[in-house]
Structure 1
Amino acid sequence: MSHLIDVPRGLNGVVAAETAISDVNGEAGFYHYRGHSAVDLARTRTFEDVWHLLVVDGAPHAPHDFELRIADAQADERLPALIAAVRERTDDPIAVLRAVWTLSASALRSAALYDLDETGRLDDAIRYAAIAPLALAPLSGRMPAGRGVVSDYLERVTGVVPDDAHVRALSAYLVAAMDHGFNASTFTARVIASTGADMASCLSGALGALSGPLHGGAPARALDSLDAAGGDPGAWIAGELSAGRRLMGFGHAVYRTADPRSELLREVARGLGGGRVEQALAFQAEAERQLAARHPERALKANVEFYAAVVMEQCGIPRGMFTPTFALARTIGWTAHVLEQARDPKIIRPAARYVGVGAVF
């Protein structure tokens, strides 16, 4: 019998693979994409620019031919009927995307990653990521005019042509959320990729992990907290903490200081302005004060989900579309990780220690 190595619960701190895609420094409160500050990219680059950086490993600038590949994938004449057929059976955007990816793989006769060369894998990475905004967002109002992924997505969700401020704000969020180390959904994608499965299977598995309330489901719950607290956050927060309930949108498994994504989105939210933003700022200050008093040994700051909720609401995105919008961003990171994992011929296959009836220790 091979020697078993005990690791922390949740694999916390365990290095499971090597990656050149992104790095998160929780102690310093910093993360980057291929050596570029992710926060700076979110402030200055388009969604397509950073998509190109992650999957092609080039400069953070999307050449025209890359944008054409995205447009061509979205123009596939089979997609509208396929998406419509799925939407007749469910209005859950996450379920729609999962089904569309699976059905598209069948319609396109997608091959397993194991059987594709690097060019074929990249084609699939771009194709399936390009499908995501179409499947996630219901078509409301006029057909989008092809002004870019973010603008078109926002128009599909809200039914109105978005103004530039909202496009910039949502783009900043999406870029900031594209990748973030070996989180649960990314690791899921890599495990499936290590088996040599097709791209759609990798992405569908990752999407299932993201749908959990402890991962991608937090933004809407953070907004629920703001609604419940109303104009007196102090009393509401004290009641929640005294009852032993978690404040959604606060604390992070990696960061031991302020979450740089939260600081970025707080800046974006302030730029948009409004009563909800003022409420969020007051809630954050009070929550962090009470958390520091109760847990002086831990820095429990606002995380990305807290201000992501505020920014998305200010952009007109309904609460039920918060997690799907997060999924749109994270799809780019998943495809980059799938491509990277597919280059490694070793399957990810950890062991488990049996502790049931008759276990020998």
Structure 2
Amino acid sequence: MGGDDTTPGLDDAIAAETRLSRIDGETGDLVVAGYPLSELAGRATAAEVLFVLLHDRLPTRPELDDLRDRLATARTLPAPTRSLLRAAGDAGADPTAALRTGLASLDATGESVTDPVRVVGAVPAIVGTYWRARRGLTDAPPTTDADRGQAAALLRLVTDTDPDPDHVDALETYLVALAEHGLDAPTLAARTVVSTGSDLLSAVTAATGALAGDRHGGAPGPVLDLLDATATDGAESVLRERLEAGKRLHGFGHRVYRTRDPRAAVVEATAAALVPPDRLAHVREVERVGTDLLADRYPDRTPATNVEFWAAVLLDGIGLPRPLFTSTFATARVAGWAAHAAEQRASGRLLRPRSRYVGATGRTWTPIERRYR
């Protein structure tokens, strides 16, 4: 591409070559490190997906045991990080801001943090430590038992109980399904930071900052708000009113997929096995009505529910509080961010797109005393 050609939103622009994932938006296929998502979901653990993203192959049993030990060790946070998270929780800070602060402080003791496993392993501990402080709970002992994976560690810290094994399995499936998804906005932020020669913590912190808005990773909370509203006033009236007011229906459609998001099918199957029948019936009714209304209004679009619709149902069903949904997404996606950062660093390439100027030209300087009279 040359001249003054532009790609608004960078749609379809190729900024990097990657072995980490391939998305086919036309057919609704997602391949992660060579494996169709259907091969990984329900079989792989989050630790195994992390290994294959970092090393491009599945781990042996000794390698997996070692990785789980390292992830468990990483859940012991440095004292400065714990202090910051307790202060954030006491102040009722935004959960995503607390996660960003916690990540950025992992090297506050002066130790360089370059190991992606340490960064990935720390995330559930950061989320859990902050939330316990916000609830007025004391710090829990570090979840350093390697048999407790990332999912179990997060649930134990947040709920302050030994988690239901079914809930652990459900969250593990979520972590696998959401671990990697191409060059989305947070991942691009991470790769851009690393491309300057900066460090892994800065890259992952930047990626987390990209989650602070509601355009990426933040929809499961608003999906639950939508489900709550429709439970009271009916799906047809609530959804139609929202559309007529020009509001988005969170959880419907996707920027990339022209058919159904393949992650949605994985998370839906898991969520459907957890929630009570009456709740599931209501969710499916909202899905049906929303899909029909969007199809009538936008016949050229794909109105199917996306992964965030069913993620909301799943995360709510396993007892995770609504304010932590975005942080839980980050707990999954940090594996992909770390792998992308390593891949970008290995390329040695600085990411430097151009912009096309559309401002004024030919202006002349006006002294301040003569301006705007």
Match in the other structure for 1:284: 287
Say whether 1:66 aligns with 2:67: yes
- Give 1:5 shift: 4.4
SS of corresponding position for 2:102: helix
Within a 5 Å distance, the mapping from 1:4-15 to structure 2 comes to 4-15=3-14
Letter in 1 for 2:95: P
Match in the other structure for 2:370: none
Match in the other structure for 1:115: none
How many residues are treated as equivalent by the alignment? Answer: 348
Structure 1, unaligned runs of 5 or more: 112-120
1:26/1:256 contact within 8 Å kept: yes
CA distance in 2, matches of 1:300, 1:315: 27
Larger deviation, residues 253-262 vs 273-282: 273-282
Letter in 2 for 1:239: E
1:292/1:300 contact within 8 Å kept: yes
Cα 1:357–1:286 change in 2 (3 A) is same
Match in the other structure for 2:127: 136
Match in the other structure for 1:114: none
Match in the other structure for 2:311: 308
Cα 1:63–1:252 change in 2 (3 A) is same
Match in the other structure for 1:28: 27
Say whether 1:262 aligns with 2:264: yes
1:276/1:310 contact within 8 Å kept: no
- Give 1:258 shift: 0.9
1:90/1:96 contact within 8 Å kept: no
CA distance in 1, matches of 2:28, 2:45: 23
CA distance in 2, matches of 1:230, 1:165: 26
Letter in 2 for 1:156: L
- Give 1:293 shift: 1.6
Match in the other structure for 1:352: 355
SS of corresponding position for 2:311: helix
- Give 1:57 shift: 2.1
2:99 aligns with one of 91, 97, 100: 97
- Give 1:262 shift: 1.1
Match in the other structure for 2:47: 48
CA distance in 2, matches of 1:145, 1:3: 53
Cα 1:27–1:298 change in 2 (3 A) is same
Match in the other structure for 1:116: none
Match in the other structure for 2:371: none
SS of corresponding position for 1:105: coil
1:178/1:331 contact within 8 Å kept: yes
Letter in 2 for 1:52: F
SS of corresponding position for 2:124: helix
Letter in 2 for 1:59: L
CA distance in 2, matches of 1:60, 1:268: 25
* Percentage identity across paired residues of the two chains: 37
- Give 1:52 shift: 1.2
2:22/2:31 contact within 8 Å kept: yes
Match in the other structure for 2:329: 326
1:42/1:171 contact within 8 Å kept: no
SS of corresponding position for 2:5: coil
* 1:241-298 Cα shifts (integer Å, max 9, x gaps): 2222110110101100111111111111111131332211111011111111222222
Cα 1:179–1:242 change in 2 (3 A) is same
Within a 5 Å distance, the mapping from 1:127-276 to structure 2 comes to 127-137=118-128, 138-139=131-132, 143=141, 144=143, 146=145, 147-230=148-231, 232-274=234-276, 275-276=278-279
2:240/2:293 contact within 8 Å kept: yes
Structure 2, unaligned runs of 5 or more: 364-373
- Give 1:85 shift: 4.9
Match in the other structure for 2:369: none
Cα 1:58–1:296 change in 2 (3 A) is same
SS of corresponding position for 2:22: strand
Cα 1:349–1:161 change in 2 (3 A) is same
